[in-house]
Structure 1
Amino acid sequence: MAKSSADDEELRRACAAAIEDTKQEIIMSIRVAKSRGIWAKSGKLGRNHMAKPRVLAISTKAKGQRASVFLHVLKYSTADILEPAKLYKLKHLSKVEVVTNDPTGCTFMLGFDNLRSQSVAPPQWTMRNVDDRNRILLCILNICKDVLGRLPKVVGIDVVEMALWAKENTPAISKQPDILQDGPIVAAVVERDTKVTVERELVSQVEEEDMEALLGRYVLYLKLSILPSRLALISSNCYVMGIGEAEAFSERLKRELQALEAANVHSILENEPLINEVLQGLESANSCVEDMDEWLGIFNLKLRHMREDIESIETRNNKLEMQSVNNKSLIEELDKLLERLRIPSEYATCLTGGSFDEARMLQNIEACEWLANALRNLEGPHLDRTYANMRSVREKRAELDKLRNNFVKRASEFLRNYFTSLVDFMISDKSYFSQRGQLKRPDHADLRYKCRTYARLLQHLKTLDKNCLGPLRKAYCSSLNLLLRREAREFANELRASTKASRNPTVWLDGSTGSNQSASSADTSTVSEAYAKMLTIFIPLLVDESSFFAHFMCFEVPALVPPGGIVNGNKSVLTDDENDDDLGIMDIDDNDNEGKKSADLQALNESLHDLLDGIQEDFYAVVDWAYKIDPLRCISMHGTTERYISGQKADAAGFVRILLDDLENRISTQFSRFVDEACHQIERNERNVRQVGVLSYIPSCSACFASSIVFATLATRMEQYIQGQSRDLVDRAYTKFVTVMFVTLDKIAQSDPKYADILLLENYAAFQNSLYDLANVVPTLAKFYHQASEAYEQACTRFINTIILYQFERLFQFSRRIEDLMYTITPEEIPFQLGLSKMDLRKVVKSSLSGVDKSIGAMYKRLQKNLTSEELLPSLWDKCKKEFLDKYDSFAQLVVKIYPTESIPPVPEMRDLLASM
């Protein structure tokens, strides 16, 4: 058999080292396996019920006249070193149960009555063999009986069996009573050289011998009592075995049984005095046992009361010790709290009545920082919620709130007056503004320098009371708005006064005006340059003012223009010594919020509207002034405005974008007004013709022809003024101009249908000739050029057909009748139709083609008479000859097909005749 771990001295020393700080002595140590429900009904191991190696150690510790016994559960660390895992007091042991599901009988459970959760099954301890189980359980039971004076409830094992095992496995019993000072004898269980040591015997040696004799007689009686049954069994066995004369054998056994019973009765009667003596001894022993039980009950009651008193004393001592520790911690916490609640005198003086001069700003900033930290420290999570409802904390918070409100009120009033005084000083000094003969660029460097002194103060005011910034922002916007509007008004007035430009005539596309007047082009470039200068000076200024205001007034939005940035190719106002414009604004708490907050952005745009509202009127005045001098300069001003709009991308410059959008809309409106007036002048051609009553084509043609020339001049100038993205504006004007011109031309042509085609072709030709060069580079004009070309070709075709039919109407009507009949009848049947006979053909040819040269000459004279433009005559005459030759060729082919026996002048002869004309 393997050596038990209970005899392992190394294990005992390891356990002693693990609990050496407890001053306890190891009595026994043994290795076990810990599990929970390992022997289930299914007989399978669960994942959460795997056995874990543990060591059970029993130790004692002397406390005065009594001893405490402990059960230690030790586990192995990662370094295979024993360390405490659980600790139980054996005085709370209430139950020892051997698990019946374990067929080996090596698993048991220990139940304690002081466990917090009784619903959780206690751990199961599994030993290597039954001997180890009996050794640990016997040791525990002996200690409970000797030291605690009671035995726990034992389930699943027979105590007598345990006693017999102990007797068989105990070679020597050594009593080692320890006599304590002024106390009872306490038996100690020591397992060193013996396997099991019985601590204290329950009966004396003499009593044990008497009990063994009595048990021997009892066993004899039991043997006699079961003899008949055994005889019957023997009888049956004999029968089975085939023994003969079973009845005779049974009779003999019965006789022997009777003899034995008689001898037994006789023996009992002979031993009656001995039995009486045993009974008297049992009665005396029972009396002693009852007395002893009564005394033990009395002692047990006293010990229980003593134990309860000791536990009560220990509890009070523990509470006193805990109270002492808590009082010490409480004093420390109260000292820290009092330190939080203390207001330094220098900060109190600064917050209640200090000055806001520039020299005192550092002290004011430090006071603000202390006040903000003090308020923050009195709020969660910086302050424990248990302190929040303390009276002193509530009073101190109220005092700090009153101090904050007083300081915020004083600082806000000072800053409002300060902003007003700064602006009033600048407005009263005329040297800050443009004067007669001198344009002055606005310079706010000194103003911003003075404002930046109080930038960090504003940041702390926002931390203390964010609602106080609203009135301050309004006061700043109201004051600075006066300054900006005054600067813009003075600058715009002087800009217009110093700009020299002659006015251009505003009558365009009027057919009654001469081409010299319409084509006049005085130099008005200074007008658009003045407008560009206004934008160059003030747009960066307004953007910088918006950026400075957003940072200065603590709006959490991205920066608009970086220090020293470039705006539309122009140096930002934040240059040179203004590169440190923010001076650390937004970095006070080291919390740079890069995200956009919609609420803050909306509030910023509203404030920027208050800051810059009204300044747009001076920009509008410059636009209106430039329009009166030269309406076409709206094109260049529109391009300049679009470039500035494309450069404004920051969300916080919302008002500047709105201003530029309004300027763009105003310029577009003014230019549209010019376009409408020009279109009105075009439409007056039609009204003039009707009012005067002139129906001849020459005046109308001349008027429209002149309008085409003037439009070409206008388009040329418009192309010269296009800058940037103004292409759409000009293309829309082109579309409107040409549409009105074409519609008006059609209306004039409809007023006299006889000469409509002549009017159309001459005007469309003039339109193409005047816009040929521009149409090659301007897609919009190229579209209208092709449209005019198509209309010209259609008018030419109609006019030429009219000229040809005027001279050769009978000939080509005869041809048209033949073509119409060919769709319904065969060519052979056509000569037999009414009016289409060969005789009719000869009459038509004779009347139309006799003297054809004179007819063609008349056709040329008629064409020359109707045209007023000599340049169009050659091309129209060529078209006319070609069209006539095509019609005659078709006629000749029909004659050959329908009238093959008839002869007409051949086509080559007619071609030569036309070529000679």
Structure 2
Amino acid sequence: MTAIKHALQRDIFTPNDERLLGIVNVCKAGKKKKNCFLCATATIERPVQVKVVKVKKSDKGDFYKRQQTWELRDLTEVDAKDASKENPEFDLHFEKVYRWLASSTAEKNSFISCIWKLNQRYLRKKVEFVNVSAQLLEESVPSGESQSVAGGDEDALDEYQELSTREEQDIEGMMEMCEYAISNAEAFAEKLFKELQVLDGANIQSIMASEKQVNILMQLLDEALGEVDTIEGKLSSYEEMLQSIFFTFDGCGLSFIMALQEGDLTSPKGIEACINASEALLQCMNVALRPGHDKLMAVTQQQLLFAELRDTFARRLTNHLNNVFVHQGHDQSSTLSQHTAELTLPKHSPLHRDLLRYAKLMEWLKNTHREKYEGLSRTYVDYMSRLYEREIKDFFEVAKIKMAGTSKEAKGKFGLHGSSGKLTGSTSSLNKLTVQGSNSRRSQSSSLLDMGNMSASDLDVADRTKFDKIFEQVLSELEPLCLAEQDFISKFFKLQQHQTVMPPLPETEESDGGTPSRVLPQAEHRHSLSSEKDMVRSMMNKIFQSIETELNSLIALGDKIDSFHSLYMLVKMSHHVWTAENVDPASYLSTTLGNVLVTVKRNFDKCISGQIRQMEEVKISKKSKVGILSFVTVFEEFAELAETIFRNAERRGDLDKAYVKLIRAVFMNVEKVASESQKTPRDVVMMENFHHIFSTLSRLKISCLDAERREAKHKYTDHLQSYVINSLGQPLEKLNHFFEGVEARVAQGVREEEVSYQLAFNKQELRKVIKEYPGKEVKKGLDNLYKKVDKHLCEEESLLQVVWHSMQDEFIRQYKHFEDLIGRCYPGSGITMEFTIQDMLEYFSSIAQSH
């Protein structure tokens, strides 16, 4: 087997820079015997790669060749079949199970021992050895051919191998014989060399008989001398390291221990000393140990000392910070009840600044004592939530008092203005309104702010402006408060940051005793960051649990005072939500304001629905003319207010949707009221109100209502024309009926020039009808018509002259039509009207001027 091993090393593995460390002659179990060799190899270059190679003879049998190679790291299990009896069979589990039959049990055991050593030396993932004798894995392989095969390169295989009990006893016995063995490595080596010469004297003849063996022996001696030099160098380096540690411990270690045990946690200098000491302790506890070092008694004792120092300092730090949190939670000196003149919240930046000095210590506590760290976070949340609850409650009480103060004053002095007037959208106002004249109606209307232009009462403008400032002040105070607290929590409790990897520590009385920390893979790291963000949100929710409730209460009060306040609140709240989302979409502030925004939007929708419902419930008076309907005026003032509030607002889309709902309701209810009107003609109601709507939309230029603006103009024009035509039939009623009869005869087939031969429509009858309408009578009829139109129309819309001018145009058109019919049906008769077009123009002008 030795010759085969040398041949394989020379021909196959040396060209590939590999060393052959173990070999076994095998064939596949249960099949026709085709012998091959399984070889355990390692590369010469680092990092070392360990493989199992299947080698067999070529078909011609004159050389060996590689047939298959497996990486040892892919080996999961070695099954020796029987640990108590000799059995040449064994299995190797790679990606599949390979069953082998060795030429002898000794070769199999030698090969398995070699695999075990390679696994212990080079692989982190340990292979499972099944049905393998424990003695085979602990002791070296017996002498003989197998040993030369499997263990010949053991020096190259293992830089460090734990000694067996028997080897340890032999070395201790040898070293007891030479007390200077450790202090004088060269003398010890020289003594060993002399003893080796004495031992080899008996076999000198056989050694000299083989030149090859002599060369090998000389090579081994040279290697031994080299190892002695290496050991001496290592001993020197260890001595230097020990001296360095001694001086460091002597100079700084004692001060670190004092800082951890008794350091001042109240002064900046003492805190800095504690930080340095805790970092040094953590660094010592994180030192990577070589295999086997953790079993040394000195190392174990040192780890226990470190753990005791860790627990002592963790206790002191936790108690101190607990006292700070409790004291701050009970501090009531900053409550708002003592100074309600200004609507402001106390700033906690001094507390944050003082506590941030402990941030590094909190990070240390988080990495060493998770339970104490989490307990501190719970204590902080508990006491700070009480403090914030008091401050926020006082703050909102002041806001409510300021908000309601103006409303109460307005109610006492001016009745309906400000809170229960028409524009507040309260049910009690519009339900009771009847359609009255514009003067009385405008005197009852609340005014609206239009960029400094006051349309009516200055009181409403002042109230709404004050409410807007109060609500903005509330949001402006809450926003920096929440952001500052969230930023402090993230920094102080070291959340959303990487965690330090902790080595396994020996358990002490105060040790957690849990599983050791380990390096987080990528997926677990992302999960850790996500869970820490959840922790920040959870802490913020508990600390500021009263903000959302208080905000909703304030919003309800504002809506109760005046439902139009929902416009201001929607714009302000939307802007602050947008600002918070730009800073951090997942922050507590963004989430809370978003929830409150839903309530504000719901109130806004309720306000719009209330306006529509009140339109439907408006009743008209049977004793007075209709004029401009109340809800048309309300819509105008609502639009003026909304355009002022929503200028450049983020939620413009909500207003546009509300506009469409309101204008369609206005259109529908104008037509409803016009149909129900008894005192005022339907055409007048439609004409005046749609003219007002058209003027409002043209002035405000609301782009989303362009189609409704055109529709309002169309309705106004149609009903103006209809009213003019229907009203003008009355002054020349008989003449109008006569010519309607003439047109009817022509339509029945009578030729135009033969109409005059009809008995009822001859020239004599025409002259008789014309004589009934001399210029004087026509002017009198027009004067009566003007008075009637004046009674129908309202003063505030100022459409009388427009209607009168349209009637003039329509009258002239009819006059020309009558003249045309006389010319065509009564040609050459010389019959003309008693008055001319110029006479009519003078009639219309003089009547208009006289009134």
Equivalent residue number for residue 762 of structure 1: 688
Equivalent residue number for residue 316 of structure 1: 220
1:92-133 residue CA offsets vs partner (Å, 9 max, x unmatched):
xxxxxxxxxxxxxxxxxxxxxxxx9999xxxxxxxxxxxxxx
SS at match of 2:587: helix
1:586-634 residue CA offsets vs partner (Å, 9 max, x unmatched):
xxxxxxx9xx965544443333323322123333344344444444444
Equivalent residue number for residue 346 of structure 2: 442
Instruction: State whether structure 2 residue 537 is matched by structure 1 residue 605.
Output: yes
Q: In the aligned structure 1, how far is the partner of 2:301 from the partner of 2:353? A: 38
Aligned pairs for 1:589-668 (under 5 A) are: 600-648=532-580, 649-651=582-584, 654-668=587-601
Residue 623 to residue 303, structure 1, CA distance change in 2 (3 Å): closer
CA displacement at 1:365 relative to structure 2: 1.8
1:460 maps to amino acid: W
SS at match of 2:808: helix
CA displacement at 1:868 relative to structure 2: 3.9
1:323-344 residue CA offsets vs partner (Å, 9 max, x unmatched):
3245346546866998999996
Instruction: State whether structure 2 residue 409 is matched by structure 1 residue 477.
Output: no
1:665-689 residue CA offsets vs partner (Å, 9 max, x unmatched):
444444444444444333322xx34
Equivalent residue number for residue 311 of structure 2: 406
Output the aligned Cα RMSD: 5.3
Higher Cα radius of gyration: 1
Q: In the aligned structure 2, how far is the partner of 1:468 from the partner of 1:315? A: 62
CA displacement at 1:552 relative to structure 2: 1.6
Single out whichever of 409-418 and 359-368 deviates more from structure 2: 409-418
1:726-765 residue CA offsets vs partner (Å, 9 max, x unmatched):
8836666655544433322111122359932122123334
SS at match of 2:538: helix
CA contact (8 A) 2:615 2:669 kept: yes
Q: In the aligned structure 1, how far is the partner of 2:206 from the partner of 2:329? A: 99
SS at match of 1:606: helix
CA contact (8 A) 2:687 2:715 kept: yes
Equivalent residue number for residue 784 of structure 2: 861
Equivalent residue number for residue 751 of structure 2: 831
Aligned pairs for 1:40-51 (under 5 A) are: none
1:237-267 residue CA offsets vs partner (Å, 9 max, x unmatched):
xxxxxxxxxxxxxxxxxxxxxxxxxxxxxxx
SS at match of 2:347: coil
Instruction: State whether structure 2 residue 266 is matched by structure 1 residue 358.
Output: yes
Equivalent residue number for residue 517 of structure 2: none
Determine which of 472, 496, 508 is the counterpart of 2:422. Answer: 508
Equivalent residue number for residue 681 of structure 1: 614
CA contact (8 A) 2:812 2:837 kept: yes
Higher-RCO chain (CA-CA 8 Å, sequence separation at least 6) = 2
Equivalent residue number for residue 367 of structure 1: 277
Residue 757 to residue 438, structure 1, CA distance change in 2 (3 Å): closer
CA displacement at 1:484 relative to structure 2: 1.6
1:554 maps to amino acid: K
Residue 614 to residue 832, structure 1, CA distance change in 2 (3 Å): same
Aligned pairs for 1:169-568 (under 5 A) are: 305-328=209-232, 331=235, 346=254, 349=257, 357-359=265-267, 360-378=270-288, 386=291, 395=300, 399=304, 402=307, 406=311, 410=315, 413-414=318-319, 417-426=322-331, 429-435=332-338, 437-439=340-342, 441-464=345-368, 469-497=373-401, 500-501=405-406, 502-503=409-410, 504-508=418-422, 510=430, 511-512=433-434, 514-519=441-446, 520-522=457-459, 523-524=462-463, 525-556=465-496
Aligned length: 563
Residue 720 to residue 489, structure 1, CA distance change in 2 (3 Å): same
Residue 392 to residue 781, structure 1, CA distance change in 2 (3 Å): same
Residue 463 to residue 842, structure 1, CA distance change in 2 (3 Å): farther
Q: In the aligned structure 2, how far is the partner of 1:809 from the partner of 1:415? A: 106
CA displacement at 1:902 relative to structure 2: 7.5
CA contact (8 A) 1:701 1:763 kept: no
1:848-868 residue CA offsets vs partner (Å, 9 max, x unmatched):
766456578647635642624
Q: In the aligned structure 2, how far is the partner of 1:764 from the partner of 1:338? A: 101
1:872-901 residue CA offsets vs partner (Å, 9 max, x unmatched):
33322321232344356567668878x695
Residue 457 to residue 436, structure 1, CA distance change in 2 (3 Å): closer
Q: In the aligned structure 2, how far is the partner of 1:836 from the partner of 1:314? A: 158
Instruction: State whether structure 2 residue 727 is matched by structure 1 residue 800.
Output: no
Q: In the aligned structure 2, how far is the partner of 1:741 from the partner of 1:531? A: 31
CA contact (8 A) 1:705 1:763 kept: yes
SS at match of 1:479: helix
Equivalent residue number for residue 713 of structure 2: 789
SS at match of 1:613: coil
SS at match of 2:494: coil
CA displacement at 1:303 relative to structure 2: 10
Equivalent residue number for residue 568 of structure 1: none
Equivalent residue number for residue 883 of structure 1: 810
CA contact (8 A) 1:423 1:479 kept: yes
Give the TM-score normalised by structure 2: 0.54
SS at match of 2:209: helix
Q: In the aligned structure 1, how far is the partner of 2:479 from the partner of 2:533? A: 20
Aligned pairs for 1:18-29 (under 5 A) are: none
Equivalent residue number for residue 699 of structure 2: 775
Q: In the aligned structure 1, how far is the partner of 2:668 from the partner of 2:832? A: 45
1:759 maps to amino acid: V
Residue 412 to residue 903, structure 1, CA distance change in 2 (3 Å): farther
1:800 maps to amino acid: V
Residue 910 to residue 367, structure 1, CA distance change in 2 (3 Å): same
2:481 maps to amino acid: L
Q: In the aligned structure 2, how far is the partner of 1:368 from the partner of 1:463? A: 11
Q: In the aligned structure 1, how far is the partner of 2:443 from the partner of 2:341? A: 38
Residue 907 to residue 461, structure 1, CA distance change in 2 (3 Å): farther
Give the TM-score normalised by structure 1: 0.51
CA displacement at 1:643 relative to structure 2: 4.7
1:310-359 residue CA offsets vs partner (Å, 9 max, x unmatched):
22321330342243245346546866998999996648956985567335
CA contact (8 A) 1:635 1:726 kept: no
Equivalent residue number for residue 675 of structure 2: 750
CA displacement at 1:712 relative to structure 2: 4.7
Identity %: 14
Q: In the aligned structure 2, how far is the partner of 1:782 from the partner of 1:118? A: 87
Q: In the aligned structure 2, how far is the partner of 1:789 from the partner of 1:393? A: 100
Residue 839 to residue 314, structure 1, CA distance change in 2 (3 Å): farther
2:275 maps to amino acid: I
CA contact (8 A) 1:638 1:726 kept: no
Q: In the aligned structure 1, how far is the partner of 2:535 from the partner of 2:541? A: 10
CA contact (8 A) 2:259 2:273 kept: no
Residue 603 to residue 909, structure 1, CA distance change in 2 (3 Å): farther
